[in-house]
Amino acid sequence: MVTTDDEITRRLEERDSARSARRAQAAGTVGELARRHAELAERLADLERELGEVLTAAGDVIDVPELAEVTDVATADLTRWRDQVTKPARGGKRKRPGTAANNRVPGTLAATETRTAQPAAPAQDAGRRGSAAVGAASS
């Protein structure tokens, strides 16, 4: 027996509602975890900044290798925290000046030289090559 249109619609809605509920739950969980992650990342950044400030301030009385030895904290970590405080934050990619070829203005001699330096393919040669290829393919 073939199911009715109403039964098909009811079944699809039932499946869609179960899927929608799972999607909503997944989205809610991901949103909550992402919020917690952002909070923890901010707290961690603050803690690393504070560590760097303390390491910099104490640098005149204890150096990083000695601190690593007495605290069992890796020298690389101590150095990274210390150096983060002394280096300015990066502001993104630095824009580099272009080469002379990139700085050409359309209409200038250099720009027209680039356009005219490439020879155009003669129309007759293209036609001959095409007919030779057709002739070879038909043999």
Name the domain count of the chain.
1
In a domain, 65, yes or no: yes
pTM of the model: 0.50
In a domain, 22, yes or no: yes
In a domain, 115, yes or no: no
Residue-wise pLDDT for 77-116, tens only, equals: 999 999 988 766 666 566 666 655 555 555 555 544 455 5
Asked if 74 and 68 count as a contact pair (C-beta separation under 8 A), the reply is yes
In a domain, 13, yes or no: yes
Find the helix packing angle between 64-71 and 75-86, rounded to 10°: 130
In a domain, 40, yes or no: yes
* pLDDT exceeds cutoff 60 at 29: yes
DSSP secondary structure of 34-62: HHHHHHHHHHHHHHHHHHHHHHHHHTTTS
Asked if 55 and 81 count as a contact pair (C-beta separation under 8 A), the reply is yes
Range of the domain at 28: 5-86
In a domain, 109, yes or no: no
